[in-house]
Amino acid sequence: MKDKRCLSELQRRRIQTWFYAIILFAVSTESRNVRLTTWSSKDGSGLEIYGCGTPPPQDPKRCENDWIVNEAWIPSQQEHRSRSPPPPTEGITLTVLNQRTATLIFTKVFPLDQYWARYVDLQWHMDRVASGRVVVITVAVSGTVGLRQAAHQLAQLGSLFALHLTPMAHWTWVFVKGGRTISETVILRGVAQHHAHLLLPLSDLPSPTQSSNQSLQQQRWQYCQLHGAMGGLCDEHSPDPLPPPSPPTLAHQSALANVPVVVTAGARHQYLYHTLNTLLAAPGAQRSNVLVVLGDAPQPTTQLLRLINVNFTQVPVHGKDNFKLFRYYRSVFQLVARTFPDAPAVIFLDEDVEVSPDFFSFMSQTLWLLREDPTLYCINTYSATGLKDRAFHPSRVLRGSLQVSWGYALPLYFIREALSIWPNESSKIYIYDYWMYRDVRRGRECVYPEISRSFHFGVGMNSDAILDEKTFLSKPLLQEAYVDLMRVSDIQIDSWRRQLSQNISHATVLRGNPCSPNFIPSDLSNSHYVFYYRLDKLQENLPNPEQFHHLFNCVYTWTFSEQGLHEGVAIVTLSVRTTLYLVGVPYSSYSYLRPPRLLLWDIDTIPEEEYIIVEKNEINNERFPFRVSNVDMTEEKLTSILSIS
Ligand SMILES: *[C@@H]1O[C@H](CO)[C@@H](O)[C@H](O)[C@H]1NC(C)=O
Ligand SMILES: *[C@@H]1O[C@H](CO)[C@@H](O)[C@H](O)[C@H]1NC(C)=O
Ligand SMILES: *[C@@H]1O[C@H](CO)[C@@H](O)[C@H](O)[C@H]1NC(C)=O
């Protein structure tokens, strides 16, 4: 064991100072403490806690046994082929301990050996750790490349090293959230395993349980003794009100009467609490309309739902991975069809989706379209096109060929249609939302806002992290409430077609290479532009992605699938005043608007030098830069940085 081998003299002194300070503190106040060891290396990381830290509540003096916690994160050699990846064992580990008992109340590994997107989940959890908790962070194998913004958050919380870690650094940090560091160790380079041994003083502050005589509050603090990263629920300094107050009602509140809000959930009670909290706080929310439908129903989830007084029920789940999910959603739909046969529509939300304060207001103004327009089947609150720099109008509503996405409403007749053809065979399994898009909707479209009213914060499930970053993380959530939507009735198919063809036929026609810097006029004085390009039909009526992908990339709009197009037209909002229509000919039903003799831009026939410009896509290169920090960090540099600060 080569403890702290690579630490500079300065760091060693600092850590020793901490170490001694803590022992002195412990002795002088005679506070209880436990022994904690944590380690970090290329083989994994771990945490062991010894001591009489968790006496049973009945007998605070008795020491049950002197081994409390032993957690290790070591990658297995097994190859996993399942669709949903197993929980990671490589990356940054976050462990939260109860400050009074040293009980482990939360642990999760964030795969930050991966550069894209995952750091947001670490930040999200760190934000929800209550102040006063003891936090242990380690690197298992490797996990600093993906820290990114989270490194700043950790530095603000008091980490000396977080901003300076090399991509292969091994690091351990034990601290009190909102308080002091107890131990921090790092090896910037090298393969040695390093351990940090420390005495962890336990808090003697009385728990709020003892000072509260209300039974609901007592239940809350009992829950919080065992669960970490619960945000305001367990924040002893400014706890969320319990039960949460009811939000104001809306001008169109009656549109939401008898519209149940079904939240699909399972074991991730940290996510679920946040989701329900934002949902129940949004103006127009009615607690009695919310029903949580659980697949897995572990006790922490059901206890939480009783605590916050939200209705829940459970449906049976079988199988595993995507097959399990596919069956689960069928059970949810069956339950909904049985329980709410007369509801005008049902709103669905997953446990890891935060909603905008405008969520119910948006729904209340658009739900009626499902009744009036048979060419629609869903209302989405997640915007298909609402990327940062491409979404400007809170009041604008659009329509397109889409799957249901993160916070959506369906009419009952569509739910019954889906159930009537839901496959029993495992051979035909897709993700349920894509299956409905492909096999159930039959050409119908969804309504969606230009700016999202929902945010899928539970990123980390998709194996494709860069896609998460380019989609979920780059679509801002609208923070306003009570937005008056603009001319909602124009969404109905006849007026929509009329207006769209009018807009396209009066638009200024753009020519040239869409990926060259001067393609989009810099003054943007005209309100509408149009660009015609070659787009052919593949099987199943789908457009050829090879023909639109590069173009969409160059004008920076959603490019990863054909979803969001309305009959082959992509609507790209370039600024507050300017819209660009991309019309794919001959695929689009609007192809007839192309001026005679106008040549189509065709990715398959453009000259090589033009194609090079397309592939480079220099206008958008800088949107998602890949910049690994601290590649050149050395002990000498780190020492000098730390001695200046
Ligand atoms: C929630 O429970 C209450 C009381 O049992 C009931 O009146 C209400 O209909 C339930 N709501 C939903 C959406 O299931
Ligand atoms: C699935 O199985 C049930 C019961 O065996 C049957 O009633 C239903 O028609 C089947 N559905 C499909 C799509 O084959
Ligand atoms: C057509 O243009 C008007 C005026 O800019 C705009 O309000 C409307 O949303 C556009 N309609 C479509 C379908 O793009």
Would you list the DSSP string of 250-304? -TTGGGGTT--EEEEE-S-HHHHHHHHHHHHHSTT--GGGEEEEESS--HHHHHH
Comparing CA positions, the residue from 22, 55, 27 lying closest to residue 176 is: 22
Q: Cα–Cα distance between 109 and 118 in angstroms, integer?
A: 10
Q: Cα–Cα distance between 443 and 428 in angstroms, integer?
A: 20
End-to-end alpha-carbon separation of the chain, Å? 31
More confident residue, 164 or 618: 164
Q: Cα–Cα distance between 154 and 160 in angstroms, integer?
A: 9
Tell me which residue has its CA closest to atom 3 in ligand 2: 424
pLDDT tens digits for range 13-50: 444 333 333 333 333 344 688 899 999 999 999 999 98
Mean pLDDT value of segment 231-255: 95
More confident residue, 313 or 89: 313
Q: Cα–Cα distance between 169 and 194 in angstroms, integer?
A: 11
Beta bridge pairs of residue 291: 262, 311
C-alpha of 271 from chain center: 10
The whole-number pLDDT of residue 641 equals: 92
- Nearest ligand by distance to the CA of 286: 1
pLDDT band at 645 (very low <50, low <70, confident <90, very high): low
Q: Cα–Cα distance between 429 and 322 in angstroms, integer?
A: 8
* Residue in 503, 572, 582 to alter for ligand 3 test, most ligand atoms within 8 A of Cβ: 503
Comparing CA positions, the residue from 284, 235, 296, 219 lying closest to residue 256 is: 284
| CA 128 – ligand 1 centroid, Å | 30
Tell me which residue has its CA closest to atom 5 in ligand 2: 424
Q: Cα–Cα distance between 346 and 341 in angstroms, integer?
A: 10
Q: Cα–Cα distance between 167 and 296 in angstroms, integer?
A: 37
Q: Is 597 strand, coil or helix?
A: coil
CB under 8 Å to 523, separation ≥6 — which residues?
A: none
Instruction: Give the DSSP letter of residue 348.
Output: E
Residue 540: pLDDT over 90: no
Q: Which two tokens stand for residue 525?
A: 């004085």
| 265, HSE (Cβ side, Cα atoms, 13 Å) | 33
| CA 423 – ligand 2 centroid, Å | 7
What is the number of the ligand 1 atom nearest to the C-alpha of 261?
13
The whole-number pLDDT of residue 69 equals: 74
* Residue in 287, 293, 311, 336 to alter for ligand 1 test, most ligand atoms within 8 A of Cβ: 311
The whole-number pLDDT of residue 5 equals: 35
pLDDT tens digits for range 582-619: 999 999 999 999 999 999 999 999 999 999 999 999 88
Tell me which residue has its CA closest to atom 8 in ligand 1: 288
Q: Cα–Cα distance between 120 and 167 in angstroms, integer?
A: 18
Mean pLDDT value of segment 490-499: 98
Burial of 464-484, coded b for 16+ CB within 10 Å and e otherwise, reads: ebeebbbbbbebbbbeebebe
Comparing CA positions, the residue from 222, 228, 241, 185 lying closest to residue 45 is: 185
Q: Is 500 strand, coil or helix?
A: helix
Q: Cα–Cα distance between 642 and 645 in angstroms, integer?
A: 5
Mean pLDDT, rounded, of the chain:
89
Burial of 545-558, coded b for 16+ CB within 10 Å and e otherwise, reads: eebbebbbbbbbbb
Comparing CA positions, the residue from 143, 141, 159, 147 lying closest to residue 123 is: 147
Q: Which two tokens stand for residue 506?
A: 């009066």
Single-letter residue type at 89: T
What is the number of the ligand 2 atom nearest to the C-alpha of 424?
1
Longest dimension (CA), the chain: 91
pLDDT tens digits for range 437-478: 999 999 999 999 999 999 999 876 566 888 888 888 999 999
Q: Cα–Cα distance between 458 and 580 in angstroms, integer?
A: 32
Mean pLDDT value of segment 163-187: 96
Residue 482: pLDDT over 70: yes
pLDDT band at 541 (very low <50, low <70, confident <90, very high): confident
Tell me which residue has its CA closest to atom 3 in ligand 3: 503
Tell me which residue has its CA closest to atom 12 in ligand 2: 423
Comparing CA positions, the residue from 403, 566, 577 lying closest to residue 500 is: 566
Would you list the DSSP string of 24-60? HHHHHHT--EEEEEEEEETTEEEEEEESS----TT-T
Tell me which residue has its CA closest to atom 4 in ligand 2: 424
Instruction: Give the DSSP letter of residue 452.
Output: B
Q: Which two tokens stand for residue 522?
A: 């810099």
Single-letter residue type at 161: F
Mean pLDDT value of segment 213-222: 89
Cβ count near 171 (within 10 Å): 26
Residue 210: pLDDT over 70: no
Q: Is 23 strand, coil or helix?
A: helix
pLDDT tens digits for range 76-87: 644 434 445 567
What percentage of the chain has pLDDT greater than the value 70?
Answer: 89
pLDDT tens digits for range 107-134: 999 999 999 999 999 999 999 999 999 9
More confident residue, 314 or 89: 314
| CA 289 – ligand 1 centroid, Å | 7
pLDDT band at 372 (very low <50, low <70, confident <90, very high): very high
Q: Cα–Cα distance between 535 and 263 in angstroms, integer?
A: 39
CB under 8 Å to 218, separation ≥6 — which residues?
A: 209, 212
Residue 173: pLDDT over 50: yes
User: pTM here?
Assistant: 0.91
Strands 508-509 and 528-535: parallel
CB of 503 sitting under 6 A from ligand 3: yes
Instruction: Give the DSSP letter of residue 580.
Output: E
CB of 500 sitting under 6 A from ligand 3: yes
Ligand 2 neighbours by CB, cut-off 6 Å: 421-424
Say if CB 447 and CB 373 are below 8 A apart: no
Residue 359: pLDDT over 50: yes
Mean pLDDT value of segment 406-425: 94
Tell me which residue has its CA closest to atom 12 in ligand 3: 500
Residue 178: pLDDT over 60: yes
Comparing CA positions, the residue from 404, 398, 494, 496 lying closest to residue 441 is: 404
The whole-number pLDDT of residue 428 equals: 62
pLDDT tens digits for range 267-326: 999 999 999 999 999 999 999 999 999 998 999 999 999 999 999 999 998 887 778 888
> Which class for 134: exposed (0-12), middle (13-18), buried (19 or more C-beta within 10 A)?
buried
C-alpha of 27 from chain center: 44
Q: Is 406 strand, coil or helix?
A: coil
CB under 8 Å to 362, separation ≥6 — which residues?
A: 356, 381, 449, 453, 483, 485
Mean pLDDT value of segment 166-182: 96
C-alpha of 462 from chain center: 10
Q: Is 105 strand, coil or helix?
A: strand
Q: Is 113 strand, coil or helix?
A: coil
